[in-house]
Amino acid sequence: MKKSARGFTLIEMIVVLTITGLLFAVGLARYQAFNQRQVLTQAAAELKNNLRLAQEKALAGDKPAGFCAASSLKGYRLIFTTVTAYQIRAICSDDSFQTIKTYPLPANMAGVSDSKILFKVLGQGTDATNTSVTFPLIYNGQTKNVVVTNTGKIE
């Protein structure tokens, strides 16, 4: 009796499926790590843009309507009110403030709740006592820092 050799054996099929499964698992893990880096990078870019917004409003001396009537505008502050959100606030010389906007961080991301900086009006710099203020963003064990120098440079 002659046996014809058509198709694949069970062992060959198991080997191919195992290799395919391993390649898929490695690819999925790399994609998830890439996605996490992108979320962190995007949040840092948005934080930089919002810092620039506060800086531009301070440079222009843009006072919100009906605010600081009895005093002058001191500047604009970006402050982390919680670990999951930050605000841009207009600050008067009597230290009263008006919240311009609140920005939430993406899910599972945290900032440092006591991070803050004041951009003084008309190019007077910042209130940073050291050479810079660092705003760390933490997402799934990865950290990205946004730095503002005392001269107002945002890095």
Q: Which domains does the chain have, with CATH numbers?
A: 11-149 (3.55.40.10)
CB 142 within 8 A of CB 36: yes
Per-residue pLDDT of the chain (155 residues), as tens digits, is 566 667 888 999 999 999 999 999 999 999 999 998 999 999 999 999 999 999 999 999 888 888 887 788 999 999 999 999 999 999 998 989 999 999 999 988 998 877 888 999 988 888 876 667 888 888 888 889 898 888 888 88
- pTM comes to 0.82
